[in-house]
Each structure stands twice: as C-alpha cells, then as structure tokens.
Structure 1
Amino acid sequence: MMKKNTNLYRIPEKKEPVKDQKNKNALLYYAGFFAIVSSSGYAQVVNSGDVKIAPSTIMAVYMDYENAPTGDFVNDGNLYIFQNWKNDGLVTYTDSQNGSTFFNGSDDQFIEGTQVSNFKNTFFENVSSLVPFHLSGKIAVGGNSEFKKGVVLAGDYGGKVIFREKATHTLTSDLSFVDGQVEKDGLAAFEFPVGAGNYFRPSYHAAGTNEGDIYTTQYFNKNSNLIHSHDQRDEKILEINKNEYWEITKDQGANKIILSLTMDNRTTPAEYFNESDTYQVVITRWDSASGKWINEGGDISAPLAGKPYEKLLTAQVSGYGLFTMALVKKPTPEPEDVVIYNAISPNDDGLNDSFVIKGIDRFPDNQVEIYNRWGVKVYDAKSYNETDNMFRGYSDGRATIKRGDKLPTGTYFYILKYNTGNKVKERTGYLYINNQ
C-alpha cells in the first residue's frame, strides 16, 4: 500500500551516533530539529540501523518512512509523520513521560508493517478526507491517543490499535475514531474508541482483576442476522436490532465483564429508546454453545450530556462474541420483597443521604456492587442493611477510586444479589448521585 517512489534515502546500519551533520540521511541520534526532505519534494526513507529521538527533540518526516527488519527506532521526543509509515523492525520508547508521534497530513496516509509500532502518545489529525488513515499494521499506545480529525480505518485491512494498561484516548467523536479492531490490555476500565462509517459507537468495559487480561472490540453498522440468524433466539426475545452489533473477544483472561453498549438514534431503532408495558430492552449475545441469541439482561441509563450518542445499555454479561440489543417480554411482576430507591444526595441534610434498599434487612445474605459509567467498581459490600452498612456516596477504596473520596455527581450502575431462602435473586439498575 505504501507508494513507490523513485527517490530512495537509506539510513545505513550503524550502532553508534553519527557526528557528521552534513550527512543528514545517516543521522541516528539528534538533539535538535531534524527534517527529512528531498530535492524533488518527494522521496522514501528506509532505516536499517538505529534512530533515537531524544526528549524535547523534533523529527519531521515529509515522505514515506520505512523501518526495516534490522531497524531500531526509539522515540522519546516528538515525531511528525506527514506521509506513509511502515514498520518491519523495532519501534518503541524508553522514557516514561515523553514520546509523541503525530500523524498529520493533507493526503491519505497508509500505516503498515509486520511489527507492532509501540508509541507512547499518538495524535491523529488529517484534513484530506473523512477517512484519511488506512491501518493495515498494528499500533500500540502506552500513554494517550488524541483523535482530533480523521477516522482510522483498520477493519478493511486487518489492522489493529492496541491500548496498553492505563492507556487512554481523548477527543474521540464522529470525526475521529477507529473503524476496526481495538485491543485493550490490562485490568483498567475502558471506553473502546470504535465506530463505523460516520458514527462513533464505543462500548464500555468494566475494570478486570488481572493485569494480563486482553479484550478486543469492533463495532459494525450492519445486520448481525447475516452472520447468525435472528430466528435462532431465546423464546422470550421478541426482536433483535437489525442495524448494528459489536464483536467482543476475550483474548486472555477469565472475567465476566460489566458491558455497556451505546445507544444512538441515528443507528439504534427508535423503539429501543422507549420501553413499553409489554417489553423491555436488553443486551443479547450469540451463544455458540446453545446455538441461539440469549438474553443477557440490561438497564438503560438516563440521557448523557455532551456525547454523540444518547444513552447506555448496561449488563453483567456471561460470555463473549457478538452483542447487540433486543426487545424481550417483560416478566410477570413478582411481589416486591425489597424496594430500591435509586437516587441519593449525600449532603448530610438528613434527606436521601444514603442508598436505601427497603426490606433488605430481612435478607442479610446479600451483596451490593456499584460501578461508575466507566465500569470502575466504586463500592462493594456484603450484608448490606438499612442502618450501619449503607452506601453514602463515597468510594470504599477497593478500586481505582481512592478510599474516602466523595464520588462526583452522575449516573452509576448497581447490582444487588440477595438470598431469600428459596433462591438467589438479582436486581440491577441505575443510581443517580447528586452532590451539587
């Protein structure tokens, strides 16, 4: 895919710094500004030796760049790539704080190679088209990836964007995301920056328990019936979303995940936004063992401000594979043995200061878990009651939220499990915390 050029500049194999600044094409270590250009205005650079960009150093590449199998490329500074990038060697960084790679341009850019390009931070900004980045290789991000302008198309080429443990992303929107596979390594909760076409449609995964966990997600603005027939479904499922689905794989790990799917009125059917007296909206998953679509349950959040999508549909799912939304028959209501009040305002005024579950004292064999929007567990308690063991809007310190921190205003997701003596019941839903 990389364009072929008549002008070819090659960085020779060498394992020590080059001091002759006149031979810029042989430059391996540099402490100032380095721009590679050609007299004809366009060329290709091939590195088969060592390149190291030191902190506070800028290297700008105005032509196709290829890191050969023998090439070692270390970026602890600032690398600007204005054309195509190919990596068949080692691309990495050594500085824990520095190292940024900027994919900028006014022409489409092809990012390819047989080896993973390991970057600390990445920046995507290209104004040539809606989909200017064509990824057939693999990029790994250790810090942050800023999606400013331009969709990264990976699905058509078999490419992948990998986020290491604690890696993040910013500025994702309908204008910039990954159309293809995104992998997340580690246990941190994560919003997968995936979408398709003109739609940013992330999924949210809760925090895991093992740093070795690896999950991969891709969003499809297509009908999943083309892969697994919607006729093969649980008898209580009335209808399955024909417009979209997510494919989520567990590449490594053993966790059940708290999964949230985004709901967008441009792709999600209108009836999925308004539950009726006869049906409710749930997450459905294709279950290979039973050969049918099954009901994973789910609860719909309140409208989300400042997002390109409207709501989240959340459930603790029992497996992996293809996910979408479904309408299911509402079960016949059982007599309520507990009453859940799903809003608190912990301001110590004596009104709604805690999460009240009326009647839970009759079922001491119980557990309450509360998660934030990102799937991070902020509270976990057994033998929850109505007096001295209650959630009062503070983190219990068993997750990434610091113990004793007052939780911000927002919508949270709860899971209640309790033993009635005859069976273990589970209730889920959204809890609103108002700290204003």
Structure 2
Amino acid sequence: MIKDLQQFQFVLKNRKDLSCIFSFIAILLLSQKGQAQFINQGDLKVSGNTILSVYMNYDNKITGNFVNDGQVHAFENYNNDGSISYTDKSSGTTFFTGEQEQIIAGSQVSDFQNVVFNNVTSLMPFQLKTAVKVGKNADFKNGIVNAGEYSSRMIFDTEASFTNAGNQSFVDGEVQKKGNAMFEFPVGNQLYYRPAISGVTSDLKNAFTTQYFYQNSNALYPHSQKEETILSINDSEYWKVTQDSGNEKIVLSLTLNDKTTPSEFFNIPPNTKLAIVRWDDILQKWTNCNGESSDPTQTLNYEKLLTAQVTGYGIFTMAIVKEIIIDEKLIVYNAVSPNGDGINDSFHIKEIDKYPDNMVEIYNRWGVKVFETKSYNESDNMFRGYSDGRATINRGEKLPTGTYFYILKYNNTKKVVEQSGYLYINNQ
C-alpha cells in the first residue's frame, strides 16, 4: 500500500531484468511524522549490474529475505530484523551514503559482502546499533562508525579486509576478526584512529575482538598494582583484546601516536625499554609481556610499532619497563645479509652453544612465523634468511628485505629465559 506517491523515492536501474530478479513484498508507509519507509516482508534479490537506491528509511522485516549481489545505496536509516546476505560468487556492495546521520539497526546480523561508509554530514554520522558482518571488504571513505555507545560490533569474516581507514573513518567500538590471517583492527576513539595488529595464527576457527579506548585505565585497573619491572604505564589509552574462539597465542602489535600516546614514550630514559603490558584478572595486577619497538621506517607508516607474543588476553597498553640484561655473554647480532660474502650471512647469537636447550622463532611484521628451530647453534643450525618449511607456507624461499621479530628461549640450567627483539634482513 502506498499512501503518497511523491514520497516513493525508490530508484531502480537495469529495470528490464526486474521480473527475474525480484520476488518480494515492498510496502511504503508514511510514519506519523510524515516520513516514508521502504519495507520488505518477502524475498528481494538485487543481481548483476542492478542498482537499488533507497532514499528513505529501509526496514527489512522478520520475514524479509534480502540478497544483494548488485549495488544497494542506502541514503537514510537501515533496519534489519530478517535476513540480509549475498551469493558467494557475486560482488554485492552496500553503500551507506547519507545526507544526514544514519542509524544502522536491527535484531539480526546484516551480512554484507562489501560495504562502503561515505557520509560527511558529521564526524560520526553512522550509529551502529546492531552487529554487521563483512565477507570481503569494508571501505571507510568518510564518517566514523559509532558502535561502542550501543555495545554493538563490526565482524570481519575469514577472508575479509578493509580500505581507507584513518582519522576520518574507523570503528569506535568493537571489531571482531574471524580466521587465522594477520589483521589490523580498524578501531579508534574520540576522533583518533588507533589500530592494533594481530599476527597470523594456524587455526581458521580463531576469532579475536579488539576495542580502543582513549582514556586512562587507572580507574579500572590501578597502575599501582604492577610487576616490579614495570616503571610507568600509559595513562592515556588502552586496548581490549579478547579471544572469542581458539586457544592460540598471538603476536600482538600496538601502535604509538604522538597525538594520544604520552610524550615520554617516544624518548625513554637509559636502561629502560618499551613493552606491552596486560592487566591480569587473576593476579589483579599489570604484567610485563615484554616486546620490542620497531624502526619507524619499517612500521607501515606508524610513528612506532610495539610488538610482543602475548600469553593471555584482556586489557593491554604499553609501559616503560626496566631493561634487564639476561646474560652479558649471550650477544644477538640482529642484522642478516645472506649474500655469501661471509659477513652477517646468518642470524648469529654468540655463545648460544653454551645453552643447547633452546628454541628460536622468527616472525615477519605481519606475525607470520617464518622460522622455528630447537637447539640453535653457531655452526649448522642457523637462520640464513630463508623461510623454514615447517613454519610457513613459503617453503625454502628467500625472505624479502625488511624488519622481522625474533623470540629466543633457552635454559640457563637455573630457569627458562626468554628474550625478544627485532632482526633486520637485507636480501637485496
């Protein structure tokens, strides 16, 4: 039933295919405020080159089954209480392009293959009051997605990624990533894009959720309750990282930014270092996860990247900690140039032969393990700039030039000692 044809701003292109594309019940009603709604209560499918533009509130009812394999442009509010999905082999895209703030709501998850956020009416034009899932790509062109205020989230499926996130557009709230791929969580808060990066894992069933908070964690997680090695905890920002499924450790990287991160974290005192710290709910104190800060020229355009293999999940931030020299005799030479000239052809750890009960792991900057071995030594079991077939799919390949992250564990006859750091490989 249509009460006012002038309000029917529902536009279709490629209309010749309508008979085979659509089988639905669309009802246009005027609300009490005189605003039209496009309501779907049946089956609606947009296919191929078809473009569906809706210049009014869209409401997919409980009985609505909406499949987008074409292009759907939503210019006002969007509500889903039914099913919104796509066909796997298609390239369906949903565009949120408003002339006012847009509410994305509903009792059911909206499953988008591709989604584009592009609204410049305000700094935070998208009010995400429901969970939405991305199967392929989310394009953050303009406008911050406000999810935190409504305890909602954006979900990225196993093959999903995103483009164009920055201070102009990100998710202010929870972002979940499913699968085992490296992922930069497009999160931020209070107009600042502050991503965290999780490394590659082995299990496709893994799922992690991250949220960034531009606020002092001290009120909730007292900074006075900390391990002795921790000197100063970031009092401006923190991240919440949870593992929703799976049981693997991850290599976690936190980004530093001079707009949000305290200035002392960019010029730390002698005999100290930056580390990732985590609030341990069981111990009720901050624990030192260690970690290394990377060369700014190798940090994906971030001012600094802090990386560590974490053993638990929860609340994370960075801290200034005591730099502990574990063994003065054990010297790590963190440059490798495997060109056969006899100089730095392998990753040399001087005096490691004295500790044969050891293990070395090397990761690239995406958290992919490229090398792993036990009983590392100074003669025949060394890393020479090639990937190890047991640890990575790039078997026997020469690794590209760049900065890598190593973890060394060894038994010094008294205890198992762990240290980590950055390793630069020049394979040119």
TM-score, structure 2 as length reference = 0.89
Question: Residue 224 of structure 1 aligns to which amino acid in structure 2?
Answer: S
CA deviation profile, 1:119-178 (whole Å, cap 9, x unmatched): 111122222222111111111111111212211111112221001112111221111111
1:427 correspondence with 2:422 = no
Which structure 1 segments of 5+ residues have no match?
A: 12-20
Q: Which residue of 1 aligns with 2:284?
A: 291
CA distance in 1, matches of 2:29, 2:386: 57
Task: Output aligned runs, 1:3-402, within 5 Å.
Answer: 29-30=21-22, 43-304=36-297, 309-331=302-324, 333-398=325-390, 401-402=393-394
Cα shift readout 1:169-192 (whole Å, capped 9, x = no counterpart): 122111111110001112222111
SS at match of 1:105: coil
Question: How far apart, CA to CA, are the structure 2 residues paired with 1:28 and 1:244?
Answer: 53
SS at match of 1:408: coil
Q: 1:416 aligns with which of 391, 394, 408?
A: 408
CA distance in 1, matches of 2:323, 2:110: 49
Q: Quote the Cα distance in structure 1 between the aligned partners of 2:52 and 2:29.
A: 11
Of the structure 1 ranges 221-230 and 356-365, higher mean CA displacement relative to structure 2 is found in 356-365
CA contact under 8 A between 1:28 and 1:50: conserved in structure 2? Answer: no
CA contact (8 A) 1:265 1:309 kept: no
Distance in 2 of aligned mates of 1:200 and 1:405: 35
Question: Among the aligned pairs, what percent are the same residue?
Answer: 54
Q: Which amino acid aligns with 2:183?
A: F
Of 387-396 and 222-231, more deviation after overlay is shown by 387-396
Asked if 2 retains the 8 angstrom alpha-carbon contact of 1:30 and 1:57, the reply is no
Change (3 A) 1:244 1:304: farther
Deviation, 1:57, is 2.6
DSSP 3-state at the match of 2:319? strand
- 1:306 and 1:360 mapped to 2: Cα distance? 29
Q: Would the aligned equivalents of 1:241 and 1:269 in 2 still touch at CA under 8 Å?
A: yes
Separation (CA, whole Å) in 2 of partners of 1:75 and 1:277? 58
Amino acid at match of 1:324: T
Between the aligned partners of 1:335 and 1:163, the Cα distance in structure 2 is 43
Cα deviation code 1:317-369 (max 9, x no counterpart): 221111111222333x3442321111222344443232222222333322211
- Between the two proteins, the alignment pairs up a number of residues equal to 413
CA RMSD of aligned residues (A): 2.8
1:283–1:295: 8 Å Cα contact kept in structure 2? yes
TM superposition score normalised by structure 1: 0.87
Secondary structure of the 2:264 match is: helix
**Contact 1:154 1:178 (C-alpha < 8 Å) held by counterparts:** yes
Q: 1:404 aligns with which of 375, 396, 408?
A: 396
For 2:44, the aligned partner's letter is V
Is the Cα contact below 8 Å between 1:344 and 1:353 reproduced in 2?
yes
Residue 422 of structure 1 and its aligned partner are, at CA, apart by: 3.0
Q: CA–CA distance in 1 between the matches of 2:71 and 2:387?
A: 38
Measured against aligned partners, the alpha-carbon deviations of 1:192-229 in whole angstroms (never above 9, x if no partner) come to: 11111221111111222322222111000000012122
**Residues 28, 268 of structure 1: CA spacing in aligned structure 2 closer, same or farther, 3 A cutoff?**
farther
Distance (whole Å) between structure 2 residues aligned to residue 165 and residue 221 of structure 1: 28
Q: Which moved more, 1:68-77 or 1:302-311?
A: 302-311
| One-letter code aligned to 1:276 | P
Q: Is the 8 A contact 2:22 2:43 kept in 1?
A: no
CA offsets 1:378-399 (integer angstroms, 9 cap, x no match): 2222222233332222322446
In the alignment, is the contact (CA less than 8 A) between 2:129 and 2:147 conserved in 1?
yes
Aligned partners of 1:148 and 1:160: how far apart in 2?
Answer: 19
